[in-house]
Structure 1
């Protein structure tokens, strides 16, 4: 699922200042965000904080030894009750400001890049969860669900983009029985330049 997005920190700061006067303005401008990068999120306490993208986990190798730390950047909506996500979803929700996100399709070596963003170029607010880490500081993950029409043409999962009237309910621990997103909420452009300047998209970083 999504392993690369861009965000306008200044736009996020301006949105936050309307909600909370403790927000500090930063210069506007697009920044690229990849797994393990620091990026701003808004917590349920209505605090804007920089966190590292991806819950860090080690997995058991065939040799029986643990793997290196891996960032798990996406959490599936149908697995939020599993041990890795259950506590964070119940107690540590956040929303992630996203200006645009990218997906790739097609065969290796000839992949097509697809860009998704708000039709009016407003921020997308993505449902997320976070956890503290002694080694890596606070870390966040973005929730994914089954795709709507726009994303379904490219990928079998999509980010949970919250509608404006859902933001406070999500942060306050409201019940979301269905995270499926309506059609028509995203503008898609296919065949755009690959922002990673590479032929392969980054590894998925999602637990299946």
Structure 2
């Protein structure tokens, strides 16, 4: 599970990395953040509905499925297990139609020290460069008020040998070549 991550890059570096064209409509909140938590508004890269080109959008980190009756999902939706993307009613449609890239430079894993204390470790690529977490997103609409929430979940997968000492899941990291 990944419950926190970080990003040192500002929106200009993100735009260059993902070869984005138009950032005029993106608020300045897409800047660096060393402690990104669930329910915060974060930049993701997705395909634009009208253009089909990559765009930077600000979405809430905790996926609210389109079918949810309320804006608070009935279970935790910050992470989506890769092995359940095609079988889970919450993940299937977003995985098939609404994938996204989540810009990041590190994520945190926590090692238990004792029953009450955990030591956080920031996990990054060896060269500390910007990378993408794999994600899915969805659009929820309140049919009474018209309120719309766009939100995302981070895809997790089995850990590699290094990460399995910390957790049985790890975020899916997508290389630029992929």
Query: One fold, TM greater than 0.5?
Result: yes
8 A contact 2:64–2:139 mirrored in 1: no
- Partner residue, 1:80: 85
Question: Would you say the 8 A contact 2:38–2:61 is kept in 1?
Answer: yes
Q: How many residues were matched structurally?
A: 156
Q: Is the 8 A contact 1:127 1:161 kept in 2?
A: yes
Write the mapping of 1:21-32 to structure 2, written as runs, cut at 5 A. 21-24=21-24, 26=28, 29-32=32-35
Q: Secondary structure at the residue paired with 1:133?
A: strand
* Structure 2 Cα separation of the partners of residues 51 and 71 of structure 1: 17
Cα distance change, pair 44–78 in 1 and its aligned pair in 2 (3 A): same
Secondary structure at the counterpart of residue 83 of structure 1: coil
Q: Counterparts of 2:121 and 2:2 in 1: how far apart (Å)?
A: 11
Distance 1:122 1:102, change over 3 A: same
**2:106 equivalent among 96, 100, 106:** 100
Closer, same or farther in 2 for the Cα pair 1:15/1:110, shift >3 Å?
Answer: closer
Shift of 1:71: 4.8
Q: Secondary structure at the match of 2:94?
A: helix
Secondary structure at 1:130's aligned position in 2? strand
Match of 2:38 among 21, 35, 38: 35
Question: Is the Cα–Cα contact under 8 Å of residues 41 and 60 in structure 2 kept in the other structure?
Answer: yes
1:127 paired to 2:134: yes
Q: Which structure has more strand as a fraction of its residues? A: 2
State how far apart, in whole Å, the 2-side matches of 1:80 and 1:159 are.
14
Match of 1:148 in 2: 160
Does 2:57 match 1:49?
Answer: yes
Per-residue deviation, residues 12-47 of structure 1 (Å, max 9, x unmatched): 532324612213585853342111100000003311
Secondary structure of the 2:163 match is helix
Name the CA shift for 1:20/1:111 in 2 (closer, same or farther; >3 Å): closer
Q: Name the SS of the counterpart of 1:165 in structure 2.
A: coil
